[in-house]
């Protein structure tokens, strides 16, 4: 399958799963499951910051329209897309990334993926909840939501990747 088609299909699936399924779940303790940062993480290594931010803006806009969140997802995803090349460069191999590999736990290793995606997801969720609550006096609640939502979203991302990996191995 052409790589562009693969990412377009992923875009549609991630946007609608986030907007129509995960945003409707009420887990408690202020937890929001977020899978849209995983889409930004799984984009190819060679994408530069401007196309990344454009894709993040479109994904966030679609989710915000369906979720009625007034730009929260868009802002957090654009921030993550802006920081992704910086974090990738800081934690990348000396010889650069292999263009045939994807930024997944399978291709890059669970330790690399856990570190890089953990940093990006933490920044994404912190920014999202900081803008959502918008009160410095409730900083503890912002951190609680960031830690709980980020942790569960990270586990969900690993679960989604295991499904993607299993479907690739069956082919």
- Rounded Cα distance, 158 and 166, in Å: 12
Q: Is 78's pLDDT higher than 90?
A: yes
Q: What is the pTM for the complete model shown?
A: 0.93
Report residue 160's pLDDT band, with 50, 70 and 90 as the boundaries.
Answer: very high
Report residue 63's pLDDT band, with 50, 70 and 90 as the boundaries.
Answer: very high
119 backbone dihedrals φ, ψ, rounded to 5°: -65, -50
Q: Quick one: angle between helices 139-170 and 110-133, nearest 10? A: 140
- Rounded Cα distance, 150 and 125, in Å: 6
Report residue 165's pLDDT band, with 50, 70 and 90 as the boundaries.
Answer: low
Mean pLDDT value of segment 8-16? 95
> What is the number of alpha carbons within 13 Å of residue 75 lying toward its C-beta?
12
């Amino acid at each position: 399958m052409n790589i562009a088609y693969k990412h377009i299909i992923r875009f549609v699936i991630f946007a609608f799963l986030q907007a129509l399924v995960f945003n409707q779940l009420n887990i408690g303790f202020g937890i929001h499951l977020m899978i849209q940062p995983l889409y930004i993480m799984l984009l190819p290594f060679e994408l530069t910051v401007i196309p990344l931010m454009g894709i993040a803006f479109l994904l966030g806009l679609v989710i915000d329209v369906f979720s009625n969140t007034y730009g929260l997802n868009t802002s957090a995803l654009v921030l993550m897309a802006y920081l992704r090349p910086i974090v990738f460069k800081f934690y990348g191999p000396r010889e650069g990334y292999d263009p045939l590999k994807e930024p997944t736990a399978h291709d890059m290793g669970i330790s690399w993926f856990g570190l890089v995606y953990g940093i990006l997801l933490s920044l994404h969720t912190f920014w999202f909840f900081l803008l959502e609550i918008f009160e410095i006096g409730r900083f503890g609640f912002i951190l609680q939501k960031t830690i709980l939502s980020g942790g569960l979203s990270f586990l969900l991302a690993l679960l989604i990747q295991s499904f993607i990996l299993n479907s690739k191995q069956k082919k």
